[in-house]
Amino acid sequence: NAGVTQTPKFRILKIGQSMTLQCTQDMNHNYMYWYRQDPGMGLKLIYYSVGAGITDKGEVPNGYNVSRSTTEDFPLRLELAAPSQTSVYFCASGASGANVLTFGAGSRLTVL
Amino acid sequence: TQLLEQSPQFLSIQEGENLTVYCNSSSVFSSLQWYRQEPGEGPVLLVTVVTGGEVKKLKRLTFQFGDARKDSSLHITAAQPGDTGLYLCAGAKFGGQNFVFGPGTRLSVLP
């Protein structure tokens, strides 16, 4: 019963590098989300998806891209890393109509 | 600007004390959730409240949703060190399944 799995847990990037944060869930949830958490700022929504093949921007999408080719997977892509993207990233999933999110353990990204 | 405000931002108390933390907004929500987050982990759901005026109890934790569906409170009775963590509230707008999070209250319960 894995729930939501995120990889990697930690990553250090240089400015301008690119990388993908992986997220997979085994609960057959339709909804998936990417949030970033900065100190004292709570969670900000980057992108979300209501089902395979459908994605939409959240509150802070600039500098990121996502795809949803399967129900299980929702990777987050950073194309040109910037210091402002230093943060902890959380992937979450939820069943349609359910008022509950299940979160992964997070990925801590540092851009130097 | 924060759509959801939480207060206090930090709270440090002794084991056995009672406390209340608050989540406030000028917006109306269809439901409101409370999560607890421990260092190095993702938030974990504590409760969801969906009806204005609703009160839910979870052992020593009591959650209330405001009559106007704009605010909520979390009361902890006889706090224990295991209650230490970041408490986040999140609101869901009507007709959607996007959740807006508050900045959190960081609670420290000292033995």
What pLDDT, in 10s, does the model give residues A27-67? Answer: 999 999 999 999 777 899 999 999 999 999 998 999 999 99
Of all residues in chain A, the one with the smallest CA distance to B95 is A97
Q: Which residue from B50, B92, B101 is facing A43, i.e. has the nearest CB? A: B101
At B40 the pLDDT is 86
Chain A residues whose beta carbon lies within 8 Å of the beta carbon of residue B98: 33, 45, 48, 58
Cβ separation A97–B97 shorter than 8 A: yes
Q: Which fold, B5-110?
A: Immunoglobulin-like (2.60.40)
Rounded Cα gap, residues B40 and B65, in angstroms: 29
Alpha-carbon gap: B16 to the closest alpha carbon of chain A (Å)? 27
Number of domains in chain A: 1
pLDDT at position A96 is 82
Average pLDDT score over residue span B25-32: 90
- In angstroms, the Cα distances linking A83 to A3, A39, A111, B1, B49 are 30, 15, 5, 22, 38
pLDDT at position A60, please? 93
pLDDT, average across residues B5-31: 95
Confidence of residue B87 (pLDDT cuts 50, 70, 90): very high
Calpha distance A22→B5 (Å, rounded): 31
Give the integer Cα–Cα distance in Å for A53 and A67: 7
> Å from A34 to nearest chain B CA?
11
| CATH code for the domain of A31 | 2.60.40.10
Range of the domain at A83: 4-111
Average pLDDT over residues B44-70: 94
For A7-16, write each residue's pLDDT tens digit: 999 999 999 9
Positive or negative, the Cα torsion across B108, B20, B36, A38?
negative
Query: In this structure, are strands B105-110 and B10-14 parallel, antiparallel, or unpaired?
Result: parallel
Looking at residue B2, what is its pLDDT? 55
